[in-house]
Structure 1
Amino acid sequence: MLGVSFPLAVIWLDENRRVVDRKIARPWQIALIPQRAAQFIIECHPQRLDDFSEGELIDFLVG
């Protein structure tokens, strides 16, 4: 991702908190676009990418 000098795992969730896509963002990559529309994004260490599966429901607190 632009301005980020290290890789990140990026997980996109829809409005129902279901995983719609997941990818590794390379350092200085200009843009990442999910396969489907997303409402939320989770960014974490690349080793955590396999902890998320497409279609999985993620529970988290907002605010």
Structure 2
Amino acid sequence: MIINETKGRVWHGSVYLADTFFRRFRGLMLVRNVNYALVFVLPAETRINASIHMFFMMSDIDVIWLDSSRRIVDFKTARKWRIYAPKKAAKYVIEGPVGLIKALSVEEGDLINWMPTEEREKAVPVKSLIPGKINLNGSKNSIAMVESVKEAKAKEI
């Protein structure tokens, strides 16, 4: 969710952080239907670091540039295969679907905040006792070696 605190407007879509080099590098390139927002956390607050390119983009997007106090310094709908730089230095860049700017009713100087969507775990841990494997489900942080299925069943009781 993205919130325009100045105007009390809220956009209820999914929000993800691009806070590492690789996430910032990938951005929204090659994404066909942009239906979420990506908040870029830049290493330094400058115009050059905050400039974006729209090469390899599959659709247009709305872009909002924020300074370190989360105030809007520039915003626009970015078209494919172009380069954009904010009017002033920015620490955060929000890229999202076209309509984001209108939904938040943004103007320069507005205070913006966001709540990232929790990313689901890629793997779900499950309890299992497999013969010949280490049992990490023991009590008091102990580790036991399971030797047979019969022994494993006996431990469950």
TM-score by length of 1: 0.85
Greater mean deviation of Cα atoms: 49-58 or 12-21 = 49-58
Q: How many residues align?
A: 61
CA apart distance, 1:61: 4.8
Give 4+ residue runs of structure 1 displaced > 2 Å after superposition.
none
Match of 2:79 in 1: 26
**Percent identical:** 38
- What letter matches 2:109 in structure 1? G
Structure in which a larger fraction of residues adopt strand? 2
Of 59, 69, 85, the residue aligned with 1:6 is 59
Match of 1:55 in 2: 109
Unaligned runs of 5+ in 1: none
Structure in which a larger fraction of residues adopt helix? 2
Higher relative contact order (CA 8 A, sep 6+): 1
Unaligned runs of 5+ in 2: 1-53, 117-157
Match of 1:36 in 2: 88
TM-score by length of 2: 0.37
CA apart distance, 1:60: 2.6
SS of residue paired to 2:90:
coil
- In the aligned structure 1, how far is the partner of 2:81 from the partner of 2:58? 6
Bigger Rg over Cα:
2
8 Å CA contact 1:5, 1:28 repeated in 2:
no
8 Å CA contact 1:7, 1:25 repeated in 2:
yes
- In the aligned structure 2, how far is the partner of 1:44 from the partner of 1:60? 13
8 Å CA contact 1:15, 1:39 repeated in 2:
yes
